[in-house]
Amino acid sequence: MKGLKLAIKLFVSVALLWLVLRQIDIHRLLTLLQKSNPVWLGIAFILYNLSKILASFRLNYYFKDLGLRISQWQALRLYYVGMFYNLFLPGGVGGDGYKIYLLQKYHNPGYKPLLAATLLDRLSGLTALLFLAGVLFLFSSYAKLSPWLVWCDLFCLILLYPIFLPLHKKLFGNFTTYLWQTTLLGLGVQILQLLSAYALILALPVTVPIIDFLTLFLISSVVAVLPLTIGGVGAREFTFLYGLKLLRLDPSAGIAFSFLFFILSALSSAIGIFFIHNPYNRFHKEI
């Protein structure tokens, strides 16, 4: 079954990329990638990894609610190893499964509480992502397409956190000690990723509508969360292609941006390989 799911995800990713590349100027795409500013690329890399460091703090707060006392350094290492598994070994145990297995092995808090902590970590990030996407949408060119979209966006923005916070308390009652810390950290993580995306835009040798690009980036990040592709490959490019076409803009810069973001996330995830060797003994000694 896992092999079939991986095959389906691979097929969808390849199909979406094929569809995207058929509709853009490949030569222009390669030119944009080759002429990208390395300084801004480096800044984007740093900001992206700062967001992951912040995310590891958020996840560790959820672990504390389960009575797990692991160092922040260990939580960060676990987070990077999880990133590595999720991106490079999507058909295996997966990053979340790895963390759950390891924590259960040495602390035995129960698989269900650990699964709940992992799920809540994802939901917190998704809520922040939707909130920021809704805010940027109001200032983007997409808001001019239809007044109904603006009213719908405002309605969702107003209700998003008033719905999320009570649901958090009701469905995840064991994780309320650090509710405000994790909520603010969730926003902080997405803001840092937004700044990383802004740096990537500045790295491109082309002038683009910044707000529209950042809005599309957040929307594509929501789409990439869906378990339809491998690491969001194909889904993000597909979103940029049709999102920019909707505004009658050249999608080549958007595809170049999404390729650069994938490379950035892949390089960041590869850091996890330094913590994979003999992880159980190391984990055991540090806690």
Instruction: Provide the residue-wise pLDDT of the chain in tens; the chain has 287 residues.
Output: 666 777 777 778 888 888 887 888 788 888 888 999 999 999 999 999 999 999 999 999 999 998 888 888 888 998 998 888 888 766 545 778 888 888 888 888 888 999 999 899 999 999 999 999 999 999 999 999 988 999 999 999 999 999 999 999 888 888 989 999 999 999 999 999 999 999 999 999 988 899 999 999 999 999 888 777 776 778 888 899 899 999 988 889 999 999 999 999 999 999 988 887 655 555 555 54
The answer to whether residues 201 and 210 touch, using CB atoms and an 8 Å cutoff, is yes
Tell me if 21 is assigned to some domain: no
Q: Which residue has the tokens 């790295």?
A: 203
Predicted confidence at residue 152, as pLDDT, reads 94
The answer to whether residues 51 and 196 touch, using CB atoms and an 8 Å cutoff, is yes
Tell me if 23 is assigned to some domain: no
Predicted confidence at residue 99, as pLDDT, reads 84
Tell me if 24 is assigned to some domain: no
What is the spatial distance between Cα 247 and Cα 69, in angstroms, rounded to a whole number? 50
Predicted confidence at residue 132, as pLDDT, reads 96
Predicted confidence at residue 39, as pLDDT, reads 97
Tell me if 22 is assigned to some domain: no
Tell me if 187 is assigned to some domain: yes
**Token pair for residue 61?**
């707060």
The answer to whether residues 269 and 48 touch, using CB atoms and an 8 Å cutoff, is no
Predicted confidence at residue 263, as pLDDT, reads 92
Contacts of 138 (CB under 8 A, 6+ apart): 150, 153, 154
Domain of residue 271, residue span = 2-16+38-286
Tell me if 32 is assigned to some domain: no
Q: Where are the extended beta strands (E) located within 25-124?
A: none
Number of Cβ atoms within 10 Å of the Cβ of 173 = 9
Predicted confidence at residue 90, as pLDDT, reads 60
Q: Which residue has the tokens 């698989």?
A: 111
Q: How many domains does the chain have?
A: 1
The answer to whether residues 90 and 6 touch, using CB atoms and an 8 Å cutoff, is yes
Contacts of 223 (CB under 8 A, 6+ apart): 232, 235, 236, 238, 239
Q: Which residue has the tokens 């999507």?
A: 90
Question: Does pTM surpass 0.85?
Answer: yes
What is the spatial distance between Cα 89 and Cα 97, in angstroms, rounded to a whole number? 12
What is the spatial distance between Cα 201 and Cα 55, in angstroms, rounded to a whole number? 23
Tell me if 28 is assigned to some domain: no
